[in-house]
Amino acid sequence: MYGRKGFKLISELDLYSDILPFNEVLVKEVLQEMQCLYDANVADSNAIRNDDNMALLPSVQLRHTALKRNKRCVLAYIYNRMRKLRELRWELGSILPPEINSNLLNAEIQWFQSYNKSLAKYMRSLGEDHGFNLTTNMVPPKTPYVEVKCVEDFGRLELDDGQVILLKKNTYHLLPRSVCEPLIRQGILEHKTRS
């Protein structure tokens, strides 16, 4: 049955929210099926044109529909992976964790780096001197300061006003939200829970 491998490729996206290793084997199988469908259509189209055999027309139309469906499935698979990478850039920053990076193709890594450069260039163009970091406040803050607990030893942290804070494991701090959010995403700080 045509299209089962393409459907399997798309259903993989629904089963897992993380970026899995690129399924090269299944993509190649879908592309091989598409090549077989195309070759069969060329042969039947030539038979229709040369021998005026219109009985082959429904077969050509069915294979053409299967070809278009497989093409949409492969493109949706690739687009979905790129969309997840774009979301990860906004959530985690410009450097992906090794467990995600190891699941990417070289082309996907290059696309991610290109997206990073474009986003950084755009953010530098905003504001006056240093640009404006759009990824800082993904949700509008209720207060400009956040109570945080340091989860691991980080060392010295210099704030925008020049104040230096030593971030040691199990210490609590009241810091500007713009400084805390990247460190919270990296797992160095966590929001202080009230007891």
Nearest to 36 by CA among 74, 63, 55, 9: 63
Q: Are 117 and 131 in contact (CB under 8 A)?
A: no
**How long a stretch of residues is the chain?**
195
Rounded to the nearest 10 degrees, the angle between the axes of helix 57-92 and helix 24-51 is: 150
Nearest to 116 by CA among 135, 98, 97, 144: 135
Residue with tokens 């006003």: 161
**Domains of the chain: residue spans and CATH:** 2-123 (1.20.58.1030), 143-189 (3.40.5)
Residue 27 tokens, joined: 């993509």
> What does each of the 195 residues of the chain score in pLDDT, given as a tens digit?
688 899 999 988 888 878 899 999 999 999 999 999 999 999 998 888 888 878 888 999 999 999 999 999 999 999 999 999 999 998 888 888 899 999 999 999 999 999 999 998 998 888 777 777 777 766 776 788 889 999 999 889 888 888 899 999 999 999 988 888 888 888 889 887 655
Which residues touch 154 (CB under 8 Å, ≥6 apart)?
Answer: 167, 168, 183, 188
